[in-house]
Amino acid sequence: MRHANLARCQAQRLGRRRYQLFTPALLDDGLDYCALRTAFQGAMNRGELELLYRPMLCARSGQVVAVSAQPRWCSARFGVLESGRWMGAAVDDGQLAEVCQWVLENACQHARSWFEVGVGLRVVVHVSIEGLLEGDFPSRVDVALASSDLPAGLLEIEVKESGLMQDIHRAAGVFEQLEAKGVRLSVDGFGSGCSILGHLSRLPVGTLKLSELFIRECHDNPRHQAIIRSVIDMAHALDIEVVANGISTRQQADFLRQQGCDLLQGSLWARMEYLDPTLDGP
């Protein structure tokens, strides 16, 4: 019975209409997920979620010009978990919209606290394609902006390229509604797989975030270097900003800066991450 339950939980984790046969590997992964899913129920009501802000630096000046909001779950049982560990549980329990709204509203309120003291940092909120297309996402953005009184231009909504390609036409419609409100839009993981290139000229995108696949070897892989140069040149020709994420070494940062990349982000600046922007902001 225990093995059957593990397989059932893993099938739920994989998505709708999926099945999973038991394998010994599930004794590690499956049990954790089932227990984690149970523990996550009520986490928001218990005040266990928090936002970690990761800086994006201007490649030319070195100044922080934007931050990405990363939700974390501070679980008494599992410790501090990044969203990739528990977001599936939120989806399975029908809490995706609630979590998304919590992140939006808190990120906007924090960004407003900066704005009030003269620091106009752009705050980037990553949204899954399910979150973007579920319900009326533009209305949820309206609520977050209105409750915080944050200028729309200081909010950026980021969606993975692979997610957008799952339903590019519906996603484009939502993007157009958000652009009409003045919200900035970003494509994450550009070049990682299913390319959005053919739709780029028709999407109101302001930012492309390069896939970390290219960043890891950018300082010594000629092919990756050529791809990065091409993407930056193309994006700038379309008046699109380019962000490089996943930077861990000075060599990577120096190369990307030399190629004209606009913003830099990664573990190289981990010491600049912070939780409470009213106290620890840049």
List, in order, residues 6 or more apart from 155 with CB less than 8 Å away. 107, 108, 111, 122, 123, 125, 141, 144, 145, 183, 184
- 61-90 pLDDT, tens digit each: 999 999 999 999 999 988 999 998 899 889
- What DSSP string describes 21-70? ---TTHHHHHHHHHHHHHHHTTTTTTT-EEEEEEEEEETTT--EEEEEEE
Stated as kind and residue range, the H or E segment containing 254 is helix 250-258
Asked if 257 and 242 count as a contact pair (C-beta separation under 8 A), the reply is no
Q: For residue 276, what pLDDT band results from cuts at 50, 70 and 90?
A: low
Burial (CB count within 10 angstroms: exposed 0-12, middle 13-18, buried 19+), residue 66: buried
Which single residue is written with the structure tokens 């399910």? 130
CA distance linking residue 7 with residue 258, whole number of Å: 50
Q: Which two tokens stand for residue 21?
A: 């046969």
Fold of 48-280: TIM Barrel (3.20.20)
The domain ranges of the chain are: 1-40, 48-280
CA distances from 176 to 116, 190, 202 (A): 29, 19, 10
Predicted confidence (pLDDT) per residue in 29-47, tens digit: 444 778 888 899 989 899 9
How far apart CA 51 and CA 125 sit, in angstroms, is 10
Contact 190, 210 (CB under 8 A): yes
Rounded average pLDDT over 258-274:
93
Backbone angles phi, psi at 240, to 5 degrees: -115, 135
- Look at residue 1 and tell me whether its pLDDT is greater than 50: no
pTM: 0.86
For the ranges 5-9, 42-46, 103-107, 161-165, which has the lowest average pLDDT?
5-9
**Averaged pLDDT of the chain:** 87
Say which residues have a Cβ less than 8 Å from residue 178's Cβ, sequence separation at least 6.
138, 141, 157, 185, 204
Is residue 163's pLDDT more than 90? yes
**DSSP 3-state of 217:** coil
